Amino acid sequence: MKTVIVGAGISGLATAHALLEQQPDLELQVLEASDRPGGKVWTDKSSEGFLCERGVNAFLNNKPETLELVAKLGLSPLASCDASRNRFVYSEGCLRQLPDSPPAFLASNLLSLPGRLRVALETVIPRGNKSDESLAEFATRRLGREAFEKLIDPMASGVYAGDATQLSLKSCFPRIHEVENEYRSLILGLIRLQLKALANRESKLPSAGPSGQLTSFSGGMSVLTTAIASKLGDRLQFATPVASITRQGVRYTIHLSDGRQEEAERVILAAPAYAQSTMLRELAPEIAGLLDNIPYPSLAICCLGYKREKIKRDLNGFGFLVPSRERRQILGTLWDASIFPNRAPEGYALFRTMIGGARSSELAQLPEDKLVDLTRSEIASIMGIDMEPEFVAVYRHSKSIPQYVVRHAQRLATIESLLKKHPGLILTGNAYKGVSLNDCVANAYLIARSLRANS
């Protein structure tokens, strides 16, 4: 059975690798519209020695599938520096450290005393009765308005470049949704899960925040996608955009933009949802319409490098996020050279600032010089660094991270039902069940196991 995968981002590459692991003799072809592998995984190293990530910055080492993939490829992962555990939120005119434990939360000045007391009342708040709700609705209901505005809202922009009033709790953070349903209270649920882990003598206890350590590679995240692409060899074709897909009997015809055609019994679409929509307009117009409605806001990334000796403030941390209530023009800034070694030449700092997203998509479309001026102005105001950078790089994504808005799960259920009319057609990618690199790799292995079981 011939299989064609469309899209060589991390989802398409990992799916191809997983399929070939299980069936080394599989007739497989991967078609990529651009001239490089990786999609939003794209590392750029300047002649000056600054290493900038255009998209995916790292992954957490808490998922076995990604770690197994890295090991099978013979790669050496690079753990983040201890300093990266210190995370900050810009609030009321200054950077405030996010508490990393219950005692630290009680002592923190990030929330007011009434705000902290309101969070403590979470244990007596009744269980919600909606099948789906926004992050804003959920967080305000369970934790209070202040905790939502200062903690959850910036997290939504940091992870999804999203608007917390629109994003779905059930789809963005399914485990939190499950804990409330099972235990009623998030705090009591966490306590019970930790007691259960202790009883089972587990080495890692569940925590309120994301577990695991940020991980990358010495040469950046492109090391991973380049390694998979190398393994695929001539099975991977670049500069091969797909225009449409049709079906005759049990075989699909993939119509390429240059007029050529490829045939296969199985087609796996791993391109972004908007690209999949275009490909499916003739074959499956209902699915195409649903995919076309998944929002993708614009996002710009501005990297600035400075001589470390000229910066007076402490950079012992991951960076900071900005709540929308602060009315700033950036979503946040990562202190990349403090997160991983070799991200900047010796004696330099590297800042990676995010602009736009669902909150202010139009800002990401500003001319490059305006984006640099905006970023410099915000860093000067927030961090007190008001000097000419030694290095500047701007990267722009007109369509960045897919937004799992309220009723996203319902959309996916409808798509899954409609796909039954098209056996052998599989849709995957970060527009469906998880935007992180770990999610994409885990879904790749799920697809491979499912196809193996049903073959």
pLDDT tens column, 179-189 = 999 999 998 99
> Can you give the pLDDT at residue 197?
81
Q: Say yes or no to pLDDT of 207 above 90.
A: no
Q: What is the 3-state secondary structure (H, E, C) of 71-140?
A: HHCCCCCEECCHHHHCEEEEECCEEEECCCCHHHHHHCCCCCHHHHHHHHHHHHCCCCCCCCCEHHHHHH
Q: Does residue 346 register a pLDDT over 80? A: yes
Mean pLDDT of the 322-331 span: 97
Mean pLDDT of 187-215: 80
SS3 for 365-403 is: HCCHHHHHHHHHHHHHHHHCCCCCCCEEEEEEECCCCCC
Could you read off the pLDDT of 213-261 as tens digits, one per residue?
Answer: 999 999 999 999 999 999 999 999 999 999 999 999 999 999 999 999 9
Give 313-330 as a DSSP string: S---SSEEE--GGG--S-
Strands 348-356 and 332-335: antiparallel
Q: Are residues 267 and 340 in the same domain?
A: no
Burial class (CB in 10 A: 0-12, 13-18, 19+), 145: middle
What would the pLDDT profile of 267-310 be if each residue is shown by its tens digit?
999 999 999 999 999 999 999 999 999 999 999 999 999 999 99
Question: Which run of H or of E encompasses 304?
Answer: strand 299-307
- Paired tokens of 112: 């007011």
Contact (CB, 8 A) for 344 and 336: yes
Q: Is the pLDDT of residue 202 over 90?
A: no
Q: Which residues face 236 on adjacent strands? A: 30
Predicted structure pTM score: 0.94
**Residue 312 belongs to some domain of the structure:** yes
Give residue 311's domain range.
297-397
Same domain, 122 and 194: yes
Give 204: exposed, middle or buried? Use CB within 10 Å, 0-12, 13-18, 19+: exposed
- DSSP conformational letter for 255: E
In the chain, the percentage of residues whose pLDDT exceeds 70 is: 98
Going by pLDDT thresholds of 50, 70 and 90, the confidence category of residue 105 is: confident
* Same domain membership, residue 142 and residue 157: yes
Is 72 domain-assigned? Answer: no
How far is it, in rounded angstroms, from Cα 152 to Cα 72? 36
CATH number at residue 163: 1.10.3110.10
Which residues fall within 8 angstroms of residue 342, CB to CB, at 6 or more apart? Answer: 51, 218
Q: Is residue 205 over pLDDT 70?
A: no
Boundary residue ending a domain (379, 397, 415): 397
Residue 106, pLDDT > 90, answer no
pLDDT tier, 210 (very low <50, low <70, confident <90, very high otherwise): low
pLDDT in tens, 351-403: 999 999 999 999 999 999 999 999 999 999 999 999 999 999 999 999 999 99
Q: How far is 51 from 281, CA to CA, in rounded Å?
A: 40
> How many separate domains does the chain show?
3
Could you report how far apart the first and last alpha carbons of the chain are, in Å? 10
Assess whether 290 and 415 both reside in one domain: yes
Give the percent of the chain with pLDDT over 90: 90
Question: Structure tokens of 309?
Answer: 């000796």
In a domain, 415, yes or no: yes
CA-closest candidate to residue 263, choices 249, 277, 275: 249
